[in-house]
Amino acid sequence: MTHSTRGRVRRVLAGGLATSTLAAAVLIAGAAPATAQSGLQDGPEPTIHTQQAYAPEDDFTAKWTRADARQLQRMSDPTAPSRENSMPASVTMPTVPQDFPDMSNEQVWVWDTWPLTDEDANQYSVNGWEIIFSLVADRNLGFDDRHVFAKIGYFYRPAGVPAAERPENGGWTYGGLVFKEGVTGQIFEDQSFSHQTQWSGSARVSKNGEIKLFFTDVAFYRNSDGTNIKPYDPRIALSVGKVKANKKGVTLTGFNKVTDLLQADGTYYQTGAQNEFFNFRDPFTFEDPAHPGETFMVFEGNSAMQRETATCNEADLGYRQGDPYAETVDDVNASGATYQIGNVGLAKAKNKQLTEWEFLPPILSANCVTDQTERPQIYFKDGKSYLFTISHRGTFAAGLDGPEGVYGFVGDGIRSDYQPLNGGSGLALGNPTNLNFLGGQPFAPDFNQHPGHFQAYSHYVMPGGLVQSFIDTIGTHDDFVRGGTLAPTVKMDIGVGGDPTKTAVDYSYGSEGLGGWADIPANKHLFTNGKFGVAVSDEAAQKIRKILGSKFDDYLDGKPVSATVRALIEKLLAQYGG
């Protein structure tokens, strides 16, 4: 279904607003020129990273340095004119059209979304239904007011249907909210919160249909004018429920209790007492093949320093000795860059129930680079560990600039001296962006900016390099449309040409690089009737359904089937189950 005028927010403003250009790089006055690498603008060389792995418990934190991040501006074409992309096409998401369908049929705003997965990040359908979780909010709210009213909802759709055969909006059915009102607020000792909300996380499914939903449980304490009475209180939390899926659709049960897992500690991860604008959210859990039987979690944090006295050092800047484009520590610290001290945290489960966790040191810091390392995830491929995270153009530190999108790092283990991808910049998949012009804000994009500058955000990298995200704003100052639904899925090739440090957009995927709208395909399929659970591959699921037809659905729904059919079902499940 395509958005109606009521279902989307459109701004059409007369005339345009000219803006000044941004500097292509921050240069030290009087510095001797350096010879630029082929295809790059003049600027510093990236930091040398070894990709060496360390034990998860070791006190080593990789650094995404200013020298690394300044490669973003070196990659940008300084001659790109108004409303044209200045970044390389290989790392740029194709432009999303303004006339997009709404996956919720105008029921809710939709943004951060994650699939139902196992410990290896395989994505599951259950009894023939694909299931996703999303942050949702009432469409009566303004789109930019949604964050303090966010709830976790879920969607489902038939599995195994090619994108070209689905309804244009992806074929999803909105199932409703996961939690009943009041459940997630119970963990806060101070019940005087003005707003209580739920933010992003991840969902793990067991073969019996149990779902462990990890998420960010948040309480705000604000005055009526929006100022803080005291800092907001985000906590990484867990709630457990079950999925019931039959021919009629999908329902969730349980999720009536929340377990408080982690609160920022002020040692590794900044607290509200250190900075009322701190970040602590977005748990993603996984198992590491190098450490079988252990479960880890990555999440977004900030380095644990006081906001007003934070400083960055030579290692945070990361310049090579004698680099004529290097900044000084004093200049960076005086620039205001110290307000941007994002990191990616690591925690380890202390029990099999995943209800007790301990902090480990961060695996990545971005001090004086960016304030936000949102929705981090670990992705394993060809013996390498990839760390993907997302960041905004507007959260880069003073003197740095780069597109909204996915930033990636590669190493030999989950704790490594991570090397930023693609020439040391870290940019894996960005929105079309012109770094020669200011960006504005999603609610007021710049006149000269590319229409896709804010088109997609909150990317999630799926098996096979598929990437889903949500639509924020498409267009420029005089003609733009707000989103609130999922964007087309795109495909990112990881390890291009056998080089693990390179990614590239697959423009042969879908239509000129854009796949199906809101397309989040399962690559594993769980069959359960409450007494057993078997997970099978795509190919096996198709074979079983072709052989058994509707009898299989009857069996999964607990309806009577003949002894012969039952025996055949159990034989096939035993044969194909993994």
Show Cβ contacts of residue 411 under 8 Å, excluding neighbours closer than 6 positions.
51, 52, 53, 62, 384, 385, 387, 417, 418, 419
Q: In this structure, what are the phi and psi dihedrals at residue 461, rounded to the nearest 5 degrees? A: -90, 125
In a domain, 517, yes or no: yes
Alpha-carbon span 571 to 267, nearest angstrom: 54
Q: Which of 45, 68, 327, 374 is catalytic?
A: 374
38-47 pLDDT per residue, tens: 589 999 999 9
The yes-or-no answer on residue 189 being catalytic is no
In a domain, 169, yes or no: yes
Mean pLDDT over residues 190-201, rounded?
A: 98
Same domain, 476 and 562: no
Q: Between the CA of residue 96 and those of 74, 81, 158, 275, 469, what are the distances in Å?
A: 26, 20, 25, 37, 11
Q: Which residue has the higher pLDDT, 288 or 2?
A: 288
Strand residues in 223-356 grouped as ranges (E): 228-246, 249-254, 259-262, 281-287, 295-302, 341-349
In a domain, 25, yes or no: no
Show Cβ contacts of residue 562 under 8 Å, excluding neighbours closer than 6 positions.
none
What's residue 531's pLDDT?
64
Residue 216 has pLDDT above 60, yes or no: yes
Per the structure, how many domains does the chain have? 2
In a domain, 442, yes or no: yes
Same domain, 516 and 549: no
315-369 pLDDT per residue, tens: 999 999 999 999 999 999 999 999 999 999 999 999 999 999 999 999 999 999 9
The yes-or-no answer on residue 374 being catalytic is yes
Mean pLDDT over residues 70-93, rounded?
A: 97
Same domain, 385 and 253: yes
In a domain, 19, yes or no: no
Residue 436 has pLDDT above 50, yes or no: yes
Alpha-carbon span 286 to 17, nearest angstrom: 47
- State the residue range of the domain holding 554: 537-576
Alpha-carbon span 154 to 241, nearest angstrom: 13
Same domain, 186 and 245: yes
Q: Which of 112, 130, 316, 401 is catalytic?
A: 112
Alpha-carbon span 427 to 423, nearest angstrom: 9
**Which residue ranges are tagged as binding site?**
57, 111-112, 168, 200, 281-282, 294, 306, 371-374, 458, 511, 515, 517
Same domain, 393 and 295: yes
Alpha-carbon span 445 to 476, nearest angstrom: 5
Mean pLDDT, the chain, rounded, equals: 91
* Residue 519: both structure tokens together: 């397309």
Same domain, 520 and 541: no
SS (H, E, C) 119-131: CCCCEEEECCEEE
CATH number at residue 73: 2.115.10.20
Alpha-carbon span 373 to 392, nearest angstrom: 9
* Residue 385: both structure tokens together: 């560990």
What's residue 38's pLDDT?
57
Same domain, 482 and 545: no
Amino acid at 348: K
Same domain, 416 and 565: no
In a domain, 34, yes or no: no
Residue 22 has pLDDT above 70, yes or no: no
Same domain, 93 and 197: yes
Same domain, 571 and 471: no
Q: Give the Cβ contact number of residue 167 at 10 Å.
A: 15
521-558 pLDDT per residue, tens: 999 999 987 666 888 888 888 888 788 788 877 777 77
**Which residue ranges are tagged as binding site for Ca(2+)?**
306, 371
Same domain, 324 and 455: yes
Residue 103 has pLDDT above 60, yes or no: yes
In a domain, 47, yes or no: no
Q: What distance, in Å, lies between the first and last C-alpha atoms of the chain?
A: 38
Same domain, 478 and 558: no
Q: Between the CA of residue 82 and those of 40, 303, 497, what are the distances in Å?
A: 20, 37, 33
Show Cβ contacts of residue 243 under 8 Å, excluding neighbours closer than 6 positions.
116, 126, 131, 205, 209, 211, 250, 251, 252
In a domain, 109, yes or no: yes
What's residue 19's pLDDT?
33
**pTM to 2 decimal places:** 0.91
Confidence tier at 71 by pLDDT (50, 70, 90): very high
Confirm if 469 and 499 have CB atoms less than 8 A apart: no
Strand order in the sheet with 281-287: 62-63, 357-367, 341-349, 295-302, 281-287
Closest-CA residue to 438 (of 429, 430, 447): 447
| Burial tier of 452 (Cβ tally within 10 Å: 0-12, 13-18, 19+) | buried
